[in-house]
């Protein structure tokens, strides 16, 4: 797996998000199939996904979507200009805790590409705190044509 520079500026250059909405701290490693990222923003009281002072585990889907977006951008850069992607379908999503903001330390975000088509990708994703699985599921990411 390839390592990426662990700077928030480098991460934000790979996402359409900026500022506080850039939730991932760093990319640990990636290859054509898998990306592994780390996050600490779940502990930030100013996290924009907090609701009534808490960060629900379902917000982890945005962490995972950002990892998939970074992975897609990195893979697409190898073959030309990156295309904009959209989270089109979520399925088989299960969570094993109620919130993320009360977890110390880092979160580990892993996405594995399962299938590729001209119009997008299918991923299996997992969110961990240490060895504890917090959230998992599948997603289809639809890609926009560059001609638009």
* Residue that wins the pLDDT comparison between 84 and 134: 134
Looking up tokens 């390592």, which residue turns up? 3
pLDDT value at residue 30? 95
Give domain limits for the chain: 8-143
Q: In a 3-state reduction of DSSP, which class is residue 20?
A: helix
Q: Residue 148: what pLDDT?
A: 46
Q: What is the CA radius of gyration of the chain?
A: 15
Q: What is the pTM of this model?
A: 0.89
The CATH number assigned to the domain with range 8-143 reads 3.10.129.10
**Cβ atoms of 42 and 12 closer than 8 Å:** no
List the structure tokens of 100: 């993320």
Dump pLDDT digits (tens) for 96-148: 999 999 999 999 999 999 998 878 899 999 999 999 999 999 999 998 876 54
What ranges in 3-137 are assigned the alpha helix state H?
8-12, 60-77
81, pLDDT greater than 70: no
């Amino acid at each position: 797996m390839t390592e990426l520079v662990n700077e928030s500026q480098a991460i934000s250059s790979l996402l359409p998000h900026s500022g506080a909405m850039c939730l991932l701290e760093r990319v640990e490693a990636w290859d054509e199939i898998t990306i592994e990222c780390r996050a600490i923003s779940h502990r930030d009281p100013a996290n924009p996904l907090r609701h009534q002072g808490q960060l629900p585990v379902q917000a982890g889907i945005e962490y995972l979507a950002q990892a998939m977006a970074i992975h897609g951008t990195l893979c697409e850069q190898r073959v030309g200009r990156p295309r904009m992607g959209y989270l089109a379908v979520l399925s088989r999503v299960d969570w094993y805790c109620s919130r993320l903001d009360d977890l110390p330390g880092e979160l580990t975000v892993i996405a594995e590409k399962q299938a590729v088509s001209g119009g997008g990708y299918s991923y299996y994703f997992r969110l961990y705190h240490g060895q504890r699985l917090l959230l998992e599921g599948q997603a289809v990411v639809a890609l926009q044509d560059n001609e638009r």
